[in-house]
Amino acid sequence: MGECVSLASCEILCVGTELLLGDTLNTNARFLSRELADAGFTLHRQAVVGDNPERLHRDFLTAWERSDFVILTGGLGPTADDITRETVCGALGIELVESPELLEAMQTFFCIRSLEMPKSNRRQAMVPVNAELIMQNSEFSERLSQKRDVINNSAFVFPNPHGTAPGIAITQNGKCAILLPGPPSEMEPMFRQSVRNFLAPWIDGILISHEVRTMGIGESAMAEAVADLLDGQNPSVAPYAKSGEALLRITAKAKTREEAEVLIAPVLEEIKRRLGGFIYGVDVPNVETVLLDKLCKAGKTLCTAESITGGGIAKRLTDCPGASKILLGSIVAYCNEMKQGLLGVSAKTLQENGAVSEQCAIEMAQGARKKIGTDFAISTTGYADGNEQLRANVALDSEAGTQVQHITFARNNRKANKLTAENTALWLLMQNI
């Protein structure tokens, strides 16, 4: 994992009252945060401001004062409440003029859709005076491959093949404001096709990160075990939780990949020393991929007998290419009759211990392994929500014997509890291959 890095600071300002009211989910902020982080920019803030010129003016200038890049989305449309272009250019003292080329491109946009262009759309042809209009991406890339000091104190207009509002970039005194349309269907392609190229001259280093994936330990326990390392700046170490797992991301900034790796190596070693037993991989996509790989190398096969997870384990495994050589089959036995009929769980167990008992999980795993004929079988049974005591049992059966693990769920959350049962079963298997 490695990306280029810019030491420039960056903030995102999304404009739109509908975002403030919660009518529209701010997916632009998420998209831009990820893209900017991938490009190596240091994102300092995100904010939302309604369609109010005074507040936008103030918030924009505050952001402009403290950051090198301010990226805005929304408010570039044709109606009176679309205020971004006028407000930002007003704040920067930039005059707007109508671009005949843009007006023509806009008329063509409507014409090929057999629509008449509403008069109000004319506003969208207003661009900063002397802005460079780039209607072809190849030409654009070439222009922007120049050094950033050459493109300082300029304005650029990004084409919008999916709508009528063009994007605008303004560079002034070493800073840059980028105005992008609100609709994600317009903003995202514009970012990928034009803005990325535009940002390239600001990127001048490398950012490397490694992701340490753990299981069997909660996020806070993991963070506690490495608490002193979390204060580091370069490399930085950040804990987070994802799909029921606790992860650590180690990130270093340096001039070259090699230098970044040298910074990371001792910290990664220390993390491995402290969390070794819980780490299932570094820079791996997920636990199921690692598990299938281990089983493949060991020449072993697997089947599942699932109740609470409803085939979720089998789904995750079959999402990985090449799973068919290892996962021979899966039985989803949800009701007692199926546990008995398909897996051979005894009537006595079901009556005396119940369907979510340890004994039932054991018999499910044993029954599946016998029926499907694999080296390993994992089973799950439990109550994911409702009024019962929320709990599950997962079992693993192999030539070496049968093991069972009990889980007590802390929350009444069906989805999260099912995921915990899946992960516990997969982790039990991982520790025993």
If one asks whether residue 167 binds ligand ATP (CB under 6 A), the answer comes out as: no
DSSP string, 330-389: EEE--SHHHHHHHH---HHHHHHT-TTSHHHHHHHHHHHHHHHT-SEEEEEEE--SSSS-
If one asks whether residue 28 binds ligand ATP (CB under 6 A), the answer comes out as: yes
The pattern of x and - marking residues 145 through 164 that bind ligand ATP according to CB under 6 A reads: ------------------x-
Contact positions with ligand ATP (CB under 6 A) in 70-109: 73-77, 82
> Residue from 165, 215, 326, 365 that binds ligand ATP (CB under 6 A)?
165
Are the C-beta atoms of residues 374 and 330 closer than 8 Å to each other? no
- H/E stretch holding 111 reads helix 100-111
CA 165 – CA 190 distance, rounded (Å)? 11
DSSP string, 249-272: EEEEEESSHHHHHHHHHHHHHHHH
If one asks whether residue 19 binds ligand ATP (CB under 6 A), the answer comes out as: yes
> Residue from 9, 27, 33, 137 that binds ligand ATP (CB under 6 A)?
27
CA 60 – CA 16 distance, rounded (Å)? 14
Cis omega (within 30 of 0) for bond into 235: yes
Place of tokens 């982080």: 37
- Measured from the CB atom, is 164 or 349 closer to ligand ATP? 164
Residue of closest CB approach to ligand ATP? 77
The pattern of x and - marking residues 207 through 236 that bind ligand ATP according to CB under 6 A reads: ------------------------------
Tell me which stretch binds ligand ATP (CB under 6 A): 12-20, 92-100, 276-284, 378-386. Answer: 12-20
- Measured from the CB atom, is 23 or 65 closer to ligand ATP? 23
If one asks whether residue 183 binds ligand ATP (CB under 6 A), the answer comes out as: yes
> Residue from 5, 6, 11, 26 that binds ligand ATP (CB under 6 A)?
26
If one asks whether residue 14 binds ligand ATP (CB under 6 A), the answer comes out as: yes
- Minimum distance, C-beta of residue 38 to ligand ATP, in the bound complex (Å): 18
- Minimum distance, C-beta of residue 82 to ligand ATP, in the bound complex (Å): 4
Rg of the chain over CA atoms, in angstroms? 28
Are the C-beta atoms of residues 420 and 407 closer than 8 Å to each other? yes
Phi, psi of 353 (to 5 degrees): -100, -30
- Minimum distance, C-beta of residue 121 to ligand ATP, in the bound complex (Å): 9
Q: Which amino acid is present at 315?
A: K
If one asks whether residue 393 binds ligand ATP (CB under 6 A), the answer comes out as: no
- Measured from the CB atom, is 24 or 137 closer to ligand ATP? 24
Are the C-beta atoms of residues 265 and 282 closer than 8 Å to each other? no
Cβ neighbors of 353 (< 8 A, separation 6 or more) are 359, 360
- Measured from the CB atom, is 36 or 237 closer to ligand ATP? 36
Contacts 24+ apart (CB under 8 A), 188-192: 188/31, 189/161, 189/162, 190/158, 190/159, 190/160, 190/162, 191/31, 191/32, 191/35, 192/35
- Measured from the CB atom, is 32 or 206 closer to ligand ATP? 32
Count residues near ligand ATP (CB under 6 A). 22
If one asks whether residue 18 binds ligand ATP (CB under 6 A), the answer comes out as: yes
Residues that bind ligand ATP (CB under 6 A): 14-16, 18-19, 24, 26-29, 73-77, 82, 163, 165, 181-184
